[in-house]
């Protein structure tokens, strides 16, 4: 199994190099999903329980989480992944980790307090400590580029999500402030020379999505309150709303527009993508914008209904647009 994973990751690395990316990822090929393996290393935790009777496409059920033990870091989780990348490419290795608020968003305060905790503040203290130790272990190994995948923020603008959160006893608007505060605690603890960005999307599992709605509900607080250097924002479909929430983006931060869909096999027209970038420039100057796919091509092992050939074509399209608009990828 390890040999097969190594071979697949080497293929992914060489593809990224051939296309012209200045960084490489391992495709997360050693993980069943983008977040389950990570959280399972932190205790008796389950973050992605999903029903088995979902429709083939469209809105999927939001996965649920359970917390049956305290959150505790017991050793490096992604260091070996970083080391494999560093040993097999001269490009900058990028490591992705789930967000520190993902478990709570899936579980809710009531579930956190049902078995493992009697104090929600202790849960947050443990979470920040665990994530801090992982970032420091990665830094000690040489890693300098981290992407935090925190999908909760993009989902707060969905009325159905707001209703579901209220039904379990959580105030969705208060959670925005809580999650910003918790994430900032982690960022304050992170090594100063680590570049840390945050990816936001509304769900990406087997062609499903989990939410829809603009960034408007969270934009002002999130972009200004969260001490993140750059944001990877889902913008591949009308479900994400328009670019107007970008008016809140501070001048010190960079916005990566996720314009290329990882859920659909249709290859985006280059002229259309460039036109969308021109629309975004009304709110953020071009020198603080970039372009990317909307999410990963497979947030879980089953992947999305997009072939490897289409994936390569979409990555190539990202490079083409970047070269045409900025003169470099």
Q: How far is CA 230 from CA 99, 227, 273, in A?
A: 15, 9, 20
Closest CA relative to residue 27, chosen from 15, 12, 5: 12
pLDDT at 329: 84
pLDDT at 34: 72
Least trusted range by pLDDT, from 31-40, 124-133, 180-189, 204-213: 204-213
Tokens of 119: 């104090």
Which CATH number is 49's domain given?
A: 3.20.20.210
CA triple 82-36-2, angle to 5 deg: 50
Tokens of 106: 């899936």
Average pLDDT of the chain is 91
Count of structural domains within the chain:
1
pTM: 0.92
Q: Is the pLDDT confidence value at 201 over 80?
A: yes
Whole-angstrom distance, CA of residue 293 vs CA of residue 146: 17
Whole-angstrom distance, CA of residue 149 vs CA of residue 34: 8
- The pair phi, psi for residue 98, each rounded to 5°, is -70, 160
Whole-angstrom distance, CA of residue 294 vs CA of residue 257: 8
Whole-angstrom distance, CA of residue 253 vs CA of residue 231: 8
Residue 303: pLDDT band (50, 70, 90) is low
Q: Name the DSSP class of 152.
A: H
Question: First CA to last CA across the chain, in angstroms?
Answer: 34
pLDDT per residue as tens digits for the range 49-67: 666 554 545 666 677 788 9
Mean pLDDT, rounded, for 222-237: 95
pLDDT at 145: 98
Quote the percentage of the chain above a pLDDT of 90. Answer: 74
Mean pLDDT, rounded, for 10-19: 97
Task: State which residues form the domain around 308.
Answer: 2-326
Residue 36: pLDDT band (50, 70, 90) is confident
Closest CA relative to residue 269, chosen from 327, 314, 325: 314
Residue 37: pLDDT band (50, 70, 90) is confident
291 neighbors 297 (Cβ within 8 angstroms): no
Least trusted range by pLDDT, from 63-67, 297-301, 308-312: 297-301
Mean pLDDT, rounded, for 234-262: 94
Q: Is the pLDDT confidence value at 46 over 70?
A: yes
Mean pLDDT, rounded, for 219-247: 94
Q: Helices in the chain by DSSP H: which ranges?
A: 2-19, 36-40, 79-88, 102-107, 109-114, 120-141, 152-155, 159-167, 172-189, 216-225, 270-280, 308-326
pLDDT at 216: 93
Closest CA relative to residue 14, chosen from 114, 89, 73: 89
């Amino acid at each position: 199994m390890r040999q097969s994973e190594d071979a697949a990751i080497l293929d992914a690395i060489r593809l990224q190099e051939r296309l012209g990316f200045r960084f490489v990822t391992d495709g997360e090929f050693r993980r069943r999903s983008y977040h389950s393996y990570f959280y399972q290393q932190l205790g008796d935790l389950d973050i992605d329980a999903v029903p088995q009777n979902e429709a083939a496409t469209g809105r999927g059920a939001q996965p649920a989480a359970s917390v049956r033990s305290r959150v505790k870091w017991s050793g490096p989780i992604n260091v070996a992944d970083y080391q494999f990348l560093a040993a097999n490419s001269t490009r900058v290795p990028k490591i992705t980790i789930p967000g520190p608020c993902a478990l709570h968003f899936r579980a809710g305060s009531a579930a956190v307090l049902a078995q493992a905790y009697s104090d929600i503040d202790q849960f947050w203290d443990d979470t920040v400590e665990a994530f801090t130790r992982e970032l420091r272990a990665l830094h000690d190994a040489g890693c300098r580029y981290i992407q935090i995948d925190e999908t909760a923020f993009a989902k707060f603008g969905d009325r159905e999500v707001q209703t579901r959160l209220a039904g379990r006893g959580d105030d969705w608007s208060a959670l925005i402030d809580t999650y910003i505060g918790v994430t900032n605690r982690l960022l304050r603890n992170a090594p100063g020379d680590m570049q840390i960005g945050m990816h936001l999307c509304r769900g990406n599992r087997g062609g499903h999505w989990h939410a829809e709605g603009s960034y408007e509900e969270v934009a002002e607080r999130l972009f200004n309150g969260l001490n993140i250097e750059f944001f990877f924002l889902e913008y591949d479909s009308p479900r994400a709303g328009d670019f107007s929430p970008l008016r809140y983006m501070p001048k010190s931060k960079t916005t990566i527009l996720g314009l290329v869909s990882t859920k659909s096999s249709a290859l985006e027209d280059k002229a259309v993508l460039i036109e969308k970038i021109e629309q975004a420039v009304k709110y953020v100057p071009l020198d603080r914008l970039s372009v990317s796919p909307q999410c990963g091509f497979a947030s879980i092992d089953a992947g999305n209904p997009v072939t490897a050939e289409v994936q390569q074509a979409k990555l190539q399209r990202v490079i083409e647009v970047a070269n045409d608009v900025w003169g470099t990828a």
